[in-house]
Amino acid sequence: MAAGEDGGANINVPFVVATFVGLLLPLFAPSRKPTVGRRVFWSGLALAVGSGFFIAYPPDWRAGAAIAGWVGAMMLVTAYFYSPHLQLRGRVKALFTGDAEVNAMDGRERPVPDGVLTSARKLWWVTVPGMTLCSFNVAQYVVGGENPRLAVVAAAVIVVLGGGFGFIEGRAGDAIARRETLQFVLVAIVTLGVFTVLYLGGYAVGRRQRRRHDPRACP
Q: Where are the domains of the chain?
A: 2-100, 120-213
- Taking the C-alpha atoms of residue 84 and residue 109, their distance in angstroms, rounded to an integer, is 11
State pLDDT tens for residues 89-100: 778 777 666 666
- Taking the C-alpha atoms of residue 67 and residue 62, their distance in angstroms, rounded to an integer, is 9
Beta strands in 101-201 (DSSP E): none
Specify the DSSP element, H or E, that contains 70.
helix 61-82
State pLDDT tens for residues 1-14: 445 444 445 667 88
Torsion sign (Cα): 32, 34, 40, 45: positive
- Taking the C-alpha atoms of residue 162 and residue 203, their distance in angstroms, rounded to an integer, is 9
Say what percent of the chain tops pLDDT 90. Answer: 23
pLDDT of residue 136 exceeding 80, the answer is yes
> What number of other Cβ atoms are within 10 A of residue 28's Cβ?
10
Angle at 211 between CA 208 and CA 215, to 5 degrees: 160
Q: Give the pTM.
A: 0.57
